[in-house]
Amino acid sequence: MLSATLYSLLAVAAGVAAQTATPSAQDAPLVTNNPIGASYVAVLPKKDGSSLGGSIQVVSGPGGKGAKFAVSISGLPAEGGPFMYHIHEKPVPENGNCTATGAHLDPYKRGEIPLCNPEDKKQCQTGDLSGKYGNITGSSLAVQYEDLFTSLTPGTPAFFGNLSFVVHLSNKTRIGCANFQFLGGGISSVASSGYAAPTGAHHGGNSTISSPTLTGTGSPYGNGGTPTSSSTNNPQNSDSAASQVILGAGAVLAGVMALVL
Ligand SMILES: [Cu+2]
């Protein structure tokens, strides 16, 4: 009796010891309960002297399994690639300093080494999007994919809706960063009066999108799976720049609508 009790105590102790002896390299669990319709977007701010622009839009995956990403990045420099982009563990502060975003979102502590193997994504850092889905080899990228390991439920380890993404040169220099913003989701609501919903079958209907931050003229486009990027090679006066910002916001919303609908 006594020995059996001791044995079980030892077994428990051994189990605890085994867990703490290997604190790293925990596989990322599948995320299966993301709130239906939850959507987020992060838009790279335009900076003087840089043509870099783009956004990452995210909505809950089918049935809440994982998340659907629509990544659109353009205006990358002619040299310094292939470029990487990741979800980072901290938001961008108000001064826009990308360094302040810290390291990659890595709630399961697998670290950067060995490099992410895209054939085995659960062993990659959760935030290592380009590791899992490919670096950017040209001057732009427009791609969609479903990631099964990112969470849209606040408070969970793999949640990133209050975090940021960062674009890097191949030498890891940070050339752009943006915070994710909550667009809406989970709760059916009439489209807010802040922007016009795309005309069509869903006009005035039960869109799950509301936009607390991206107000404006709404999208002139019928749909927008890939947001148009504004041309940045030509000098712009402030009026055209402003209108392009508005158009960009509309395109982002249209893209999100396309993802959700
Ligand atoms: Cu990064």
- SS3 annotation, 200-239: CCCCCCCCCCCCCCCCCCCCCCCCCCCCCCCCCCCCCCHH
In the reported structure, the alpha carbon of residue 5 is separated from the centroid of ligand 1 by a whole-number distance in angstroms of 49
Residue 10: left if φ>0, alpha if ψ -120 to 50, beta else—which one?
Answer: alpha
pTM over 0.75: no
Distance from Cα 128 to the centre of ligand 1, integer Å:
7
Mean pLDDT for the chain overall: 75
Distance 164 CA to ligand 1 centre (A): 10
- Ligand 1 centre from 124 Cα, in Å? 13
Query: Mean of the pLDDT values across residues 118-136?
Result: 97
Q: What is the pLDDT of residue 24?
A: 59
User: CA 48 to CA 42: how far, in whole Å?
Assistant: 19
Q: How many whole angstroms from 24 Cα to the centroid of ligand 1?
A: 19
Which of the given ranges, 22-31, 113-122, 229-238, has the highest pLDDT on average? Answer: 113-122
Interval between CA 196 and ligand 1 midpoint (Å): 35
Residue with more model confidence, 246 or 164: 164
Question: CATH for 39-260, among 2.30.30.30, 2.60.120.260, 2.60.40.200, 3.40.50.150?
Answer: 2.60.40.200
β-pairing verdict for 39-43 and 181-184: antiparallel
What confidence tens digit (pLDDT) does each residue in 37-78 have? 999 999 999 998 999 999 999 999 999 999 999 999 999 999
Compute the distance from residue 53 Cα to the ligand 1 centre, in Å: 16
Question: What phi-psi label fits residue 49: left (phi over 0), alpha (psi between -120 and 50 degrees) or beta?
Answer: left
pLDDT of residue 196: 37
Domain ranges of the chain: 39-260
**Alpha carbon distances (Å) from 189 to 7, 206, 259:** 58, 6, 17
| Residue pLDDT, tens place only, 206-254 | 334 334 444 333 333 333 333 444 433 434 444 444 444 444 444 554 5
Q: Are 215 and 195 in contact (CB under 8 A)?
A: yes
The answer on pLDDT for 17 being more than 60 is no
User: How many A from CA of 175 to the centre of ligand 1?
Assistant: 10
Give the least confident one: 17-21, 121-125, 225-229.
17-21
Structure tokens at 254: 């249209």
The pLDDT assigned to 23 comes to: 57
Alpha-carbon distance of 204 to 218, in angstroms, equals 14
Indicate the pLDDT class of residue 152, thresholds 50, 70 and 90: very high
Q: How far is the CA of 219 from the centre of ligand 1 (A)?
A: 31
75 Cα distance to chain centroid: 19
Confidence of residue 185 (pLDDT cuts 50, 70, 90): confident
Separation of 86 CA from ligand 1 center, angstroms?
Answer: 4
Report yes or no: 193 and 209 within 8 Å, Cβ to Cβ. no
Give the pLDDT band (50/70/90) at residue 192: very low
| Range of weakest confidence among 9-13, 71-75, 99-103, 250-254 | 9-13
Contacts (Cβ under 8 Å, ≥6 apart) of 149: 28, 29, 30, 31, 66, 121, 122, 126, 158
